[in-house]
Amino acid sequence: MEFTTLKNGVRMPLEGFGVFQVPDAALCEQSVTYALSAGYRLIDTAAAYFNEAAVGAAIRKSGIPREELFITTKLWIQDQGYAHAKQAFEASMENLGLDYLDLYLIHQPLGDYYGSWRAMEELYKAGRIRVIGVCNFYPERLVDLCLNVEIPPMVNQVELHPFFQQTKALDTMREFSVQPEAWGPLAEGNHGIFTHKLLTDIGRKYGKTAAQTALRWNTQRGVVIIPKSTHPERMSENLDIWDFTLADEDMSAISALDLGHSEIIDHSTAQTAKYLNSWKIHD
């Protein structure tokens, strides 16, 4: 495992484990238990995934010292705004059974996220959160936030994989020292990624699978990855990427796979803003 050092000096693992679309508590707890025993130390959940308590249970049962873990959760749109964000943070901490959090992310660039950010800055200064960041902030929103807050975000979690590479967005993040983190690093299984010919052919040269090749490519461009799986053998496969280095020619060949758009969600549309705002996670 390798680490990246964030602009506030915190070390963040370059690979973690995501638990989106695992709302079943028993399955989530079992998956996180497997992931921790496989060697993952960064776990990525969210209030909107309805599995923070299961993640917390797996953490407690693992017996792994708290300081070795890097736990992320996220603030949903319904809880945006200064007062709501503080309440939502405490609710997440209670669900997780933690007294401090490693990374708290604004889940979507919608609603009163400036109010939320002020609450997160206070929690950060009080030592309740080690790192604060955002998700799905495309360049104009990210730059605006960075320029108008006291403590700019340290991480931006966005969709990043060989079919949606976002090189210009990464340039903007680097300009503002914001660490990019990839959600959907396996394209959520779209575009035939696991049997993709180029990724398979490149991987074969190193004795690796297409999935491992795609994950390694992202980390080699400095991106943190958080692949999700409920299958132990896939968790191990996805973690087994730290003993090889893709040659420059292979990095370039993968760069040519970029479609330039997402096949999963388009954050720039009115329809997406309406849909995400309509999604409620509590009464």
Q: Any contact of residue 236 with ligand NAP (CB under 6 A)?
A: no
DSSP assignment letter at 82: H
Tell the burial category of 194 from Cβ atoms under 10 Å away from its Cβ (0-12, 13-18, 19+). Answer: middle
**Does residue 121 touch ligand NAP according to CB under 6 A?**
no
Instruction: List all residues 6 or more positions away from 207 whose beta carbon is below 8 Å from its beta carbon.
Output: 244
Residues contacting 209, CB < 8 A, separation 6+ = 194, 200, 203, 237
* By the rule CB under 6 A, 19 interacts with ligand NAP: yes
Residue 51 Cβ, how far from ligand NAP at the closest point, in Å? 10
What minimum distance in Å lies between the beta carbon of 221 and ligand NAP? 16
Per CB under 6 A, 226 contacts ligand NAP: yes
Region binding ligand NAP by CB under 6 A among candidate stretches 52-60, 80-88, 89-97, 234-242: 234-242
Residue 13 binding ligand NAP, by CB under 6 A: no
Q: Could you give the maximum distance between any two Cα atoms of the chain, in Å? A: 54
Task: In angstroms, give the least distance from the CB of 187 to ligand NAP.
Answer: 6
Three-state SS at 219:
helix
Q: Can residue 185 be called a binding residue for ligand NAP (CB under 6 A)?
A: yes
The answer to whether the beta carbons of residues 146 and 152 sit under 8 Å apart is yes
Q: Which stretch binds ligand NAP (CB under 6 A): 6-14, 165-173, 181-189, 244-252?
A: 181-189
CB neighbourhood size of 126 (10 A): 9
Check binding of 133 to ligand NAP (CB under 6 A): no
- Is 234 a binding residue for ligand NAP by CB under 6 A? The answer is yes
> From residue 144, how far is each of 10, 80, 82, 149, 160 by CA, in Å?
24, 17, 18, 9, 21
Integer Cα distance of 137 and 140 in angstroms: 8
Residue pair 170/177 in contact by the 8 Å Cβ criterion: no
Determine if 131 is a binding residue for ligand NAP (CB under 6 A): no
Question: Is residue 20 part of the contact set for ligand NAP (CB under 6 A)?
Answer: yes
Site for ligand NAP in 151-180 (CB under 6 A): 157
| Closest CA relative to residue 230, chosen from 21, 13, 16, 55 | 21
Q: How far is the CB of 251 from ligand NAP (least distance, A)?
A: 19
Active site annotation includes 114: no
Identify which of residues 18 and 127 has a Cβ nearer to ligand NAP in the complex: 18
Stretch that binds ligand NAP, among 18-26, 109-117, 120-128, 171-179 (CB under 6 A): 18-26
Residues noted as catalytic? 49
- Site of interaction with ligand NAP (CB under 6 A): 18-20, 44, 107, 135-136, 157, 183-189, 194, 211, 226-231, 234, 237-238
